[in-house]
Amino acid sequence: SSERAPSASTARSTDRPRCWSSRWSVARSLGSSSATSTRRAAADTVTGAHPHLEHSRVNAQMMRSAAASALADRVQVRDLYALYPDYLIDVAAEQRELAAAQLVVWLQPLHWYGMTPLLKLWLDEGFAFGWAYGPGGQGLSGKDLWLVASTGGGEDSYRPQGTNRHFFDAFL
């Protein structure tokens, strides 16, 4: 069964946000890693990538929850579309953020059955050969990654008989 966003408990069923993830309360789960926290070197990093966050119900609520968490001193919440509206990614800065994090959370809506454009660019540029993989590519060694993806459709649309003709995990 689908889970509700924390703020949606009183919403009409037609307005209910939809998301399939292991937990709705991203903030409650964050901060459990053993990495040391400093002001700019958070133990956990939530990287949000919603191209129209002002219209989001699910992603915006999860980002706010993570930022307002009791563990906020250990969690760095970042909005890629606010940081890079011109799509000119500061690769060195992004790699420093990733290197400092123990847990990396990607928070995004499913966009044309894949990643949002800026998250894909961020991944392509930041996870560079020689840094993230290949010879000497140890930048992500020992890190944990959670992909939290939301959809605009209901659970019934992600079934063999539904609009999308496949279960949701087939698109990940």
Name the nearest CA neighbour of 26 among 55, 79, 69, 73.
Answer: 69
Averaged over successive runs of 10 residues, the pLDDT of the chain (172 residues) comes to 34 35 38 37 79 86 83 84 96 94 88 87 94 93 88 82 84 74
Mean pLDDT for the chain overall: 75
pTM of the model: 0.70
Non-local (6+) Cβ contacts of 40 within 8 A are 76, 100
What is d(CA 113, CA 108) in angstroms, rounded to the nearest whole number? Answer: 12
Q: Are 42 and 36 in contact (CB under 8 A)?
A: no
* pLDDT at residue 117, rounded to an integer: 93
- Three-state secondary-structure class, residue 76: strand
Q: What is the pLDDT of residues 42-79, one digit of tens each?
A: 578 888 888 888 888 888 888 888 888 777 778 888 99
* pLDDT at residue 38, rounded to an integer: 34
What is d(CA 68, CA 84) in angstroms, rounded to the nearest whole number? Answer: 23
* pLDDT at residue 132, rounded to an integer: 94
Q: State which H helix or E strand residue 79 sits in.
A: strand 75-79
Radius of gyration of the chain (CA): 17
Non-local (6+) Cβ contacts of 151 within 8 A are 18, 19, 20, 109, 110, 157, 158, 168
